[in-house]
Amino acid sequence: MHQICRRQFLSQSASWLLLPLAPRILADEAPSSPGAAVPLFDGKTFEGWEGNLDWFRVEDGAIVGGSLEKQVPRNEFLCTKREFSDFELRLKCKLLGDDPNAGIQFRSRRIPDQHEMKGYQADLGQQYWGCLYDESRRNRVLAGPDPDHIAEVLKPRDWNEYVIRCEGKHIQLWFNGQQTVDYTETEAGIQQAGLIGLQIHSGPPSEAWYKELVLTVL
């Protein structure tokens, strides 16, 4: 009994010591320890991120991509500087504008000498809410929900919650509490680690807003 109590005390003490550090850990220094939940965005700066800041800004504690004043000429991505493999990512997002489209890249790469990214995307907008898309690689929806079910939980022009969970080749997505994807990768050679990227899609004036990004290493 004495040894068990001592282990519990040490475990609780270690957890308590780590708590004050969590708010200061950003995307470029996130730990690889399983179970460690850390914010990827500090709500104020782009520390830990890189991308074309002509098309991204911080406003009201959120990352905003795009513009409501002018056309978005090409896809743009704001990316973490750190790569991730097995994780659960929780965030909130909303779209504004005329027929907007966007997405959250994960296990992805920037394509050299281009503005595009290649990899998995949790899709946003149009008929693609809650879908798993393969951006600039197989260029198709890999899995997705019944559009009628998504329409029941979607909050147009308001904040929606996304959960992205990756464990090995198993990928799951939840949208506003409803599971939309349960997908297992079967194709050989598909990378299972990479960057996280926030997209604003080319097209009419539109904005993609992202906030409260918290990642748990699995």
Could you give the domains of the chain? 25-217 (2.60.120.560)
Angle at 133 between CA 55 and CA 140, to 5 degrees: 115
Q: Please give the share of the chain, as a percent, with pLDDT higher than 90.
A: 82
**Cα distances (angstroms) measured from residue 24 to each of 15, 32, 33, 107:** 16, 16, 16, 24
- What pLDDT, on a 0 to 100 scale, did the predictor assign at position 205? 98
Over residues 32-80, the pLDDT tens digits come to 567 889 999 999 999 999 999 999 999 999 999 999 999 999 999 999 9
3-state SS class at 43: coil
